[in-house]
Amino acid sequence: MSQLATGRRLLVFARNPLPGRVKTRLIPSLGAVAATAVYRQLLQDTLLSAAQVACVDSEVWLDGGEPVPWLADFAAANGLAMRQQSGDDLGMRMHAAFSASLRSAERVVLIGSDCPDFAPAYLEAAFAALAEQDAVLGPAIDGGYVLIGLRAAPALLFKDIAWGTPQVLAVTRDRLCQLGWRWTELPPRHDIDEPGDLQRFPRLAAIAETAIVGCR
């Protein structure tokens, strides 16, 4: 489907799943190989959900470099375009991606690849909210957000934010208030950052354990 066909675009921010570069907070407990196995599964599940949302142009925005072969093949097989992030920090990269996408799409939703709960219905709800609201947020239990959707992309929403801290969601709400925007929030979701987060998701914990055993 062409990018101009739907007016709805889904951006998946992702990292190349290479040992030592992903899920670094899991590495001290699991090791780099097991942490990468967890991230690879998270990314694959996220992309599958993205590909199942109807009437949406979905794209993978990679943090740099050529995608590893399985990621390139997986994206191509599921009709997901590959893009490159640009910018010095996460906020700048998100702002640049939104700005570029909103030139040819009316509603843009951006998600990361750390949340195990991105069901297609959850992503569809974000686009539905943008039919009536200026923005939509998917809060994370830890105080950040796992999803943000916009119809315009002012820099205020992305600059001078301490990404990865529990204050991100509160600061973003305050910025939306400063803009005078109307927004809605989806049900909060867990993401995977710390080893303890895996306890809520037995399948991911089992993947980590299998990878650890394979390294012995």
Q: pLDDT value at position 212?
A: 86
- Please tell me the predicted confidence (pLDDT) of residue 93: 97
In words, the CATH class of domain 8-215 is: alpha beta
C-alpha distance from residue 48 to each of 34, 59, 121, 188, 201 (Å): 21, 12, 13, 20, 18
pLDDT of residue 216: 58
From the list 64, 91, 59, 90, the residue with the least C-alpha distance to 75 is 59
Domain residue ranges in the chain:
8-215
Q: Which segments of the chain have a pLDDT < 50? A: 1-5
pLDDT of residue 4: 41
Whole-model pTM?
0.94
